[in-house]
């Protein structure tokens, strides 16, 4: 059996038991892994739903343009639907979104406009307002507005809710969901409560969003609006799709808790997920801890995990980014010593200052390296790097016979083995190709860009 296009593969995502993280709690905790959708997130479900609704309403004619404000995932879902149906896409997003998300949207043929995060929703620079303006200016276009578009909620009434019910054989007792546009939590809750009014719905919000306080007090408090880094969840507006009447409780989670839980899901459960998934799981476990007395062994709590981890490689799975944002403790920080310690311990290959350039080139070839520290009297006095050597050879026919001391550049910076990577990594992003790491025994090791890339990608 085959599908007519990629849209036929949307939905039917698996439920997987959470074992280690929930071992101390009663009941069963299941993760609904939405990264199994073709576009890698739960938002694939609403892409086709909103597009078909626009077609049925006559809001979108053949060859038209879809315009949407997105944190990334909805854009991917819409881009897939647009490719299958022959539409163009323009997306606005914010500058806090990961580069991977923006790259994916562009890879799918969409035009992406990046807008500032730290502006009010009504500001003409916000990604909401830029999308609206573009829709007014672009002929044969539609602004789908996932926040207020009922087709968002309908997608989850028709697909996510039934999958949760059928996947647990009707045994689901609790659903924990992070909410942004409100479609996932409201649509899933509407279906589940129709089947069993006793199913409890727990919303999870990041600090800095307005939903938690609005649920508990009915007050839209602008003072609650603060910058936060967890992507795709929470809001500084009240989205039209967010139906608080269907929600039984709300908890909130810090960025740090979200990021650390995301890492734990990967390391302890084998679930490689995005930061909003860590937020949803941290909130679910927090709620279960606080309400342990009301949960029995027959309880089945499902946590919707919106997306996968590949779009978060530069953030939540990057020790440098985590340290820069204060999400890692000192003993969790990646150090220079730990990076060079991942390689087999080998002596530092260096060039004496009185060596000829020709001999230095031969040494680099022998050891398959692209840079050399220059030593004299046991001290690091300079460096040789490939691009400088190429410049010497092209500019001076006699350069091979000259001494290294006459051609060397400045020495590589020296850092202690205990130095956190985030302190020296910015230098490796520029022209500096390496640092020297001073081990505890006084010997040196070289740490290159490729070493750092290998360590951060591990």
**Has residue 430 got a pLDDT over 80?**
no
Residue 4 lies in a domain: no
Convert the pLDDT of each residue in 14-72 to its tens digit. Answer: 999 999 999 999 999 999 999 999 999 999 999 999 999 999 999 999 999 999 998 88
Nearest to 336 by CA among 456, 458, 457: 456
Are 281 and 215 part of one and the same domain? yes
* pLDDT exceeds 80 at position 244: yes
pLDDT band at residue 119 using 50, 70 and 90 as cut-offs: confident
Q: Which helix (H) or strand (E) holds 255?
A: helix 255-269
Residues 324 and 344 in one domain: no
Stated as kind and residue range, the H or E segment containing 213 is helix 211-217
pLDDT of residue 343: 67
Any domain includes 181 = yes
Residue 132 · residue 146 · CB < 8 Å: no
Residues 166 and 300 in one domain: yes
Catalytic residue list contains 43: yes
What range defines the domain where residue 336 resides?
331-456
- Bridge partners, 175 (sequence order): 201, 302
Judge if 252 and 342 occupy the same domain.
Answer: no
CA neighbor of 318 nearest in space, from 336, 333, 340 = 333
Residues 110 and 228 reside in one and the same domain? no
Residues 311 and 283 in one domain: yes
Phi, psi of 72 (to 5 degrees): 130, -50
Claim to verify: residue 277 and residue 359 sit in the same structural domain:
no
Final residue of a structural domain among 119, 143, 167: 143
The mean pLDDT value for 272-291 works out to 97
How many distinct structural domains can be found in the chain?
3
Is residue 83 assigned to a domain? yes
In a domain, 1, yes or no: no
- For 242, 416, 437, 446, the CA distances from 335, given in Å and listed in that order, are 44, 9, 10, 13
335 and 324 assigned to the same domain: no
Q: Stretch 356-378: mean pLDDT, rounded?
A: 88
Same domain, 193 and 340: no
Which pLDDT value is given to residue 345?
62
pLDDT in tens, 223-232: 999 989 999 8
CATH code of the domain containing 64: 3.40.50.1100
Residues 65, 90 contacting (CB under 8 angstroms) = yes
Which of 312, 330, 348 terminates a domain? The answer is 330
Please tell me which residue in 43, 101, 193, 315 is annotated as part of the active site.
43
What pLDDT, in 10s, does the model give residues 147-179? 999 999 999 999 999 999 999 999 999 999 999
Whether residue 226 sits in one domain with residue 320: yes
Residue 27 lies in a domain: yes
Q: Same structural domain for residues 315 and 363?
A: no
Question: Does residue 372 sit within a domain?
Answer: yes
- The DSSP bridge partners found for residue 307 are 41
Burial of 284 (0-12, 13-18, 19+ CB in 10 A): buried
Per residue in 286-296, pLDDT (tens digit) is 999 999 998 99
For the cut 90, the answer to whether the pLDDT of residue 344 exceeds it is no
Distance from chain centroid for Cα 344: 31
Task: Please report whether residue 323 resides in a domain.
Answer: yes
Q: What is the pLDDT of residues 71-104, one digit of tens each?
A: 889 999 999 999 999 999 999 998 888 788 889 9
From 271, 299, 330, the end of a domain falls on 330
Predicted local distance difference test score (pLDDT) of residue 453? 75
**Residue 3, domain member (yes or no):** no
24/26 Cα distance (integer angstroms): 7
165 with 218, same domain: the answer is yes
């Amino acid at each position: 059996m085959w599908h007519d296009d990629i849209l036929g593969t949307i939905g039917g995502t698996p439920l997987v038991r959470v074992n280690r993280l929930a071992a101390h709690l009663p009941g069963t905790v299941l993760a609904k892994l939405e990264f199994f959708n073709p576009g890698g997130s739960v938002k694939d479900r609403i892409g086709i739903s909103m597009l078909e609704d626009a077609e049925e309403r006559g809001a979108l004619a053949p060859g038209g343009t879809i315009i949407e404000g997105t944190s990334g995932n909805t854009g991917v879902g819409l881009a897939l639907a647009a490719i299958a149906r022959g539409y163009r896409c323009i997306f606005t997003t914010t500058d806090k979104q990961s580069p991977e998300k923006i790259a994916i949207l562009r890879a799918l043929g969409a035009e992406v406009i990046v807008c500032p995060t730290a502006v009010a929703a009504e500001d003409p620079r916000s990604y909401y307002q830029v999308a609206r303006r573009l829709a007014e200016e672009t002929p044969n276009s539609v602004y789908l507005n996932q926040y207020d578009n009922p087709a968002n909620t309908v997608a989850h009434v028709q697909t996510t809710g039934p999958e949760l019910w059928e996947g647990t054989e009707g045994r689901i007792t609790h659903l924990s969901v992070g909410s942004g546009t409100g479609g996932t939590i409201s649509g899933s809750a509407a279906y589940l409560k129709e089947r069993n009014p006793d199913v409890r719905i727990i919303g999870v919000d990041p600090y800095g969003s307005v939903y938690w306080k609005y649920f508990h007090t009915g007050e839209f408090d602008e003072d609650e609006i603060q910058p936060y880094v967890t992507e795709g969840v929470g809001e500084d507006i009240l989205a039209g799709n967010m139906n608080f009447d269907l929600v039984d409780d709300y908890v909130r989670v810090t960025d740090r808790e979200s990021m650390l839980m995301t890492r734990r899901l990967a390391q302890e459960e084998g679930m490689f997920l995005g930061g909003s998934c860590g937020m949803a799981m941290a909130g679910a476990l927090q709620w279960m801890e606080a309400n342990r007395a009301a949960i029995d062994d027959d309880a089945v709590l499902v946590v919707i995990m919106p997306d996968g981890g590949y779009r978060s490689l530069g953030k939540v799975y990057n020790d440098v980014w985590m340290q820069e944002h204060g999400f890692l403790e000192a003993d969790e920080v990646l150090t220079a010593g730990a990076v060079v310690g991942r390689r087999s311990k080998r002596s530092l290959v260096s060039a004496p200052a009185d060596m000829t350039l020709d001999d230095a080139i031969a040494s680099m070839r022998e050891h398959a390296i692209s840079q050399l520290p220059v030593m004299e009297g046991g001290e690091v006095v300079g460096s040789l790097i490939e691009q400088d050597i190429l410049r010497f050879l092209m500019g001076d026919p006699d350069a091979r016979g000259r001494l290294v001391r006459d051609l060397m550049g400045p020495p590589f910076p020296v850092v202690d083995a205990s130095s956190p990577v985030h302190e020296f990594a910015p230098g490796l992003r520029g022209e500096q190709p390496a640092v020297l790491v001073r081990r505890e025994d006084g010997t040196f090791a070289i740490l290159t860009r490729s070493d750092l890339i290998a360590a951060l990608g591990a």
